[in-house]
Chains A and B, each alone.
Chain A
Amino acid sequence: MKETILKLDNVTKVYPNGTVANRDINMEFEKGEIHSIVGENGAGKSTLMKIIFGIEAPSSGTVTYKGKEVHFNGSMDAIEAGIGMVHQHFMLIPSFSVVDNIILGSEPKSGIFIDRKEAVRRTQELSDKYHFELDVIAKVSTLSVAKRQKVEILKTLYRNAELIILDEPTSVLTPQETEKLFEQLRQFKEQGHTILFISHKLEEVKKISDRISVIRNGVSKGTYKNEELTMEQLTNLIIGRDLEKDFDQFKTHEDFHDEKVLKVEDLYMERNGKPVLNHMSFAVKKGEILGVAGVEGNGQQELVKCLTGLEKTAYEGKITVCDKDALEMNVKQRRELGMAYIPEDRMGDGIAASLPISDNIISTYYDREDINGKFFMNQKAINKVADDLIDTFTVKTQDNKTAVGSLSGGNVQKVVVAREYNTIPDLMIAEQPTHGIDIGSAELVHHKLLELRNQGAGILLVSADLNEVLDLSDRIIVMFDGQIAGYFPDASKTNDQELGLYMLGARHQSEEEIGGALNA
């Protein structure tokens, strides 16, 4: 039996707003292992790491580090104890040199001064020891992302961290850089460091880990030895299909003659010199739901921004909405073509939190003739629209003058969906439409989307929730690394396991097969 360095017993974290991020998590970490923690976005990985690193305190349960129960009061305590963390968003000061960034907070001194010579010497020594090849007196702002990450890792090593937490470290790296990082991690392991590797990229996890712990919906689904798990089993543990729902009974099948409401051809966009959308082509037909599955961060957000007209970076390709070339159009013009949009960030992009429901529920068509009078807004008409929608969408509120921000997440989403539904769209772009809302509200949203579909609207459903995609869609595309990795012309003939393999990049269809997404 190896030595246990960190132990979590029944760790539960409930946030003040009632969100349960972690529930009764039990995990053990052995000294000198690379231990991955995997789970979908929002599964509770980050919260757990914050608890270990002392940023958050657990609501109940205990953390035992090196055999002693610890109650970290801020990350300083965790650092002191020998825990280091490399944050997903770097905690660096660009205008400082590498040395200054590394020694910040525990500077070597001679008298009252910073001993720069000693600082440079120690930093260079560390950098050489681990073959980081860093110019330690260079300013951080001149370094590449991969090098900045090395600076972050050096920071933890400089403080003699024995347990290093890496939060999604590969998300900013190229495959080659990732490979190098892995080599280094193995080196750390040999020197007795314990690595906690957080990721949702499963092939990487399989490659680097000794053991793997799975979290789903804030609950621990066990710790496994890497070699005991196949990719399929791991996928199952992470995604875990809870209950089968049959939405087929709600689907009608009218013939809309394969009319296309959205055609995307050869869409291409780069960010920081890396393609984030890599020549994507697909179409959405009238009266169908095209599901876009994929692990978050594979280009879905960029795709939606390009389609809705929100993207500021230049992108190439062809976007046709209801037979009109929409590429050069702004959001408003695209909406006028018949597009509606349910944004992922509902509080940020979906609503104006401090304004009443009535204002929010008309905000995308405030200039419609019946609402917008000659000089003033027609309050009577607005109230009627709002009250009707509050009724049909069963929004739980006192009246239509309540500030939207004071509603629960599910009810906020109902307001957003009601507004978009009420524009009677030809094309609905629904981005994570039920993310983080209660089951009842989610069900209503699903039914309303199906209603739109049955009335002849084409719906692009972008979701990281595989159940949702499988349940609602007629056709499915899977995105991986900015590309369509797989196309499934009949959603009922595939399953989560098959999709999972495409989502994780383990499989990739031929160009011919994928071409069906556009030409079907």
Chain B
Amino acid sequence: MLKTIFESLFTMKFLLSIVRLSTPILLASIAAFISSSTGIVNIAIESIMTFSALAGILGSYITQNAYLGCLIGLLIGILTALLIAFFSMKMGADAIFVGIALNTFADSLAIFFLYQIAGEKGTSASLMTPILPAVDIPGISSIPILGEIISGQYLLTYLCWIILIVLYILVYKTPLGMRMRACGLNADAAKTAGINVQVLQVLSLILSGFFAALGGMYLSLNYLKIFSKGMVAGQGWMGIAANGIANGNYGALLISSLIFAAFRAVSIVFNTSTIFPTDLVGTIPYFAVFVFVTAASIINYYRIKHGKVEEQ
């Protein structure tokens, strides 16, 4: 039995499942990354993903058009991010507490709306909902191994990959990106260089909401094809953890996200067998997050102690 499990860890199927599982975590991690780059901690990524996952499905159901649904989901994600901006920057609340408030009522609010429209509290399965397609890229799909990975993915996975590249260029190669990073590293220095810190922080929150919304809708409109209660399942938090580990390093951000996705894939493989209790196996990805975050902070501690990096 164990043998079959380990064999299945080295198959194409496993690799493909990592690719599929990585999309929401990658999007969540760049959502955390972009807001923290200007010095705003957005811990509401999980709830934005939940809101947008539902809004995407309901929007798609009402308009009977998956793309319009996707647009509505994005709008909801951005509005939620602006809510954080309003309360933390205009009204003077701590962004952390605003995030806690949103996370606390996200699930219940989502179910409230789901019940209003679908008449069910668990899933949106009863609604006839158009969803976003998977895309075959002709030509590439015939290449062995690589073709299988690159072609045939969901639409939002491709969008995610494009965003990863565009975001890198934006943050590291354009004046706007450099100014955003300056805000997060030393807001006073940015201010005296004539940069409007607040404007850039709002912009980064909007982008953060946009990415998190895509992550949520990947789950509902692409991957699972329905909205179901608790479907985000901590993937927003994993993105935040990946951002914490990466500490401003874009490469480390993506690698951490992929590692978390791999552990999710592992837990699914183990779940197909019956020798381990399902609930225990389900904790694997979360336990991995715990281990990696702890390890990262221990490493960071020693790097500061030995003067390799400056304390921030």
Q: Please measure, in the bound complex, the distance between the C-alpha atom of A114 and the C-alpha atom of B181, giving whole angstroms.
A: 14
Residue from A79, A91, A106 within 8 A of B189 (CB atoms): A91
Residue of B nearest to A76 (CB): B194
Q: CB-CB < 8 A to B175: which residues of A?
A: 107, 109, 114
Contact B195 A93 (CB under 8 A): no
Query: What distance in Å separates the Cβ of B181 from its nearest Cβ neighbour in chain A?
Result: 8
Stretch of A25-33, A94-102, A313-321, A329-337 with 4 or more beta carbons under 8 angstroms from chain B: A94-102
The reply to whether A141 and B310 contact each other, CB–CB distance below 8 Å, is yes
Q: How far is the CB of B39 from chain A (nearest CB, A)?
A: 12
A381: CB under 8 A from chain B? no
| Beyond known contacts A93-B186, A105-B195: 13 more, CB 8 A cutoff | A80-B194, A87-B192, A91-B189, A91-B192, A91-B193, A96-B182, A101-B189, A104-B182, A104-B189, A104-B195, A105-B190, A109-B175, A113-B169
Distance between Cα atoms of A92 and B182 in the complex (Å): 9
B192→A93 contact, CB < 8 A: no
Known: A114-B175, A141-B310. A93 touches B182 (CB 8 A): yes
Chain A neighbourhood of B100, CB < 8 A: none
Q: A96-B182, A96-B185, A114-B178 are in contact. Are A104 and B310 (CB under 8 A)?
A: no
Query: A243: CB under 8 A from chain B?
Result: no
A107 with B178: in contact, given A91-B192, A95-B185 (CB under 8 Å)? yes
Distance in angstroms from A116 CB to nearest chain B CB is: 9
> Is there contact, CB below 8 Å, between A75 and B194?
yes
By the criterion CB–CB under 8 Å, are B173 and A104 in contact?
no
| Interface size of B as a range | 20 to 34
- Cβ of B191: which chain A residues have Cβ within 8 Å of it? 75
Chain A residues positioned under 8 Å from B189 (CB to CB): 91-93, 101, 104
Find chain A residues with CB under 8 A from B264 CB.
none
**Interface, chain A (partner B; CB < 8 A):** 74-76, 79-80, 85, 87, 91-96, 100-101, 104-107, 109, 112-114, 141, 155
Task: Tell me whether A79 and B174 are in contact in the complex, defined as CB-CB below 8 angstroms, given that A91-B186, A93-B189 are known contacts.
Answer: no
Q: Which of B174, B186, B310 contacts A112 (CB 8 A)?
A: B174
Instruction: Judge whether B185 and A104 touch: CB under 8 Å.
Output: no
| Alpha-carbon gap, A106 to B192, bound state (A) | 12
* B185, B192, B194 pick with most chain A CB within 10 angstroms: B192
On whether the beta carbons of A104 and B174 are closer than 8 Å, the reply is: no
- Nearest B residue to A105 by beta-carbon distance? B193
Which residue of chain B lies nearest to A85 when distances are taken between CB atoms in the complex? Answer: B192
Q: Chain A residues near B181 (CB, 8 Å)?
A: 96
Interface residues of B in 267-312 (CB under 8 A from A): 310
A145–B309 alpha-carbon span in the complex (Å)? 17
Check: B188 CB closer than 8 A to any chain A CB. Answer: yes
- Could you tell me the distance between the alpha carbons of A109 and B178 in the complex, rounded to whole angstroms? 12
Q: Say whether B174 contacts A114, CB under 8 Å.
A: yes
**For the complex of A and B, 9 pairs with smallest distance between CB atoms:** A105-B193, A76-B194, A107-B175, A91-B189, A91-B192, A93-B185, A104-B193, A105-B194, A93-B186
Residue among B169, B178, B188 having the largest count of chain A Cβ atoms under 10 Å: B178
User: Which residues, 137 to 169 on B, are CB-close (under 8 Å) to A?
Assistant: 169
B residues with CB within 8 A of A: 169, 173-175, 178-179, 181-182, 185-186, 188-195, 248, 310
Q: Is the CB of A104 within 8 A of B179?
A: yes
Provide a sorted-by-A list of 21 A–B residue pairs whose CB atoms are within 8 angstroms: A74-B194, A75-B191, A80-B194, A91-B188, A91-B189, A91-B192, A92-B186, A92-B189, A93-B185, A94-B310, A95-B248, A95-B310, A96-B185, A104-B178, A104-B190, A104-B195, A105-B194, A106-B193, A113-B173, A114-B173, A114-B178
**A75 cross-chain contacts in B, Cβ below 8 A:** 191-192, 194
Q: Which single residue of chain B is at the shortest CB-CB distance from A87?
A: B192
Q: How far is the CA of A106 from the CA of B193 in the complex (A)?
A: 8
A105 touching B185 in the complex, CB below 8 Å, given contacts A87-B192, A112-B174, A114-B174: no
Please indicate the chain A residues that have their CB under 8 angstroms from the CB of B179 in the complex.
104-105
Q: Enumerate chain B residues within 8 angstroms of A74, measured Cβ to Cβ.
A: 194
A residues in contact with B182, CB < 8 Å: 93, 96, 104
In the assembled complex, the Cα of A66 lies from the Cα of B192 at a distance in Å of 22
Q: How far is the CA of A423 from the CA of B175 in the complex (A)?
A: 60
Distance in angstroms between the alpha carbons of A79 and B173 in the assembled complex: 25
With a cutoff of 8 Å between Cβ atoms, the chain B residues found around residue A95 in the complex are: 185, 248, 310
Q: How far is the CB of B188 from chain A (nearest CB, A)?
A: 6
CB distance from B203 to the nearest CB of A (A): 16
- Which A residue sits closest to B175, measured CB to CB? A107
User: Is A79 touching B186 in the complex (CB atoms < 8 A)?
Assistant: no
A274 to B192, CA, bound (A): 30
The answer to whether B194 touches A100, judged by C-beta atoms less than 8 angstroms apart, is: no
Q: Of the candidates B185, B188, B194, B248, which one forms a contact with A79 in the assembled complex, judged by CB atoms under 8 Å apart?
A: B194
| Cβ–Cβ < 8 Å partners of B192 in chain A | 75, 85, 87, 91
Cα separation A94 to B178 with both chains bound (whole Å): 14
- Interfacial chain A residues near B173, Cβ < 8 Å: 113-114
A157 to chain B, nearest CB (A): 14
CA distance A112 to B182 in the complex (A): 18
Query: A248 to B188, alpha carbons, bound, how many Å?
Result: 49
Residues on the B chain within 8 Å of A104, using CB = 178-179, 182, 189-190, 193, 195
Q: Closest CB-CB distance, B172 to chain A, in whole Å?
A: 9
Cα–Cα, bound, A370→B244 (Å): 51
Report the separation of the CA atoms of residues A270 and B195 in the bound assembly, to the nearest whole angstrom: 37
CA distance A112 to B179 in the complex (A): 14
Q: CA A141 – CA B312 in complex, angstroms?
A: 12
- The chain A residue sitting closest to B186, CB to CB, is A93
Say how far B195's CB is from chain A's closest CB, in angstroms: 5
In the assembled complex, which residues on chain B have CB atoms less than 8 Å from the CB atom of A113?
Answer: 169, 173-174
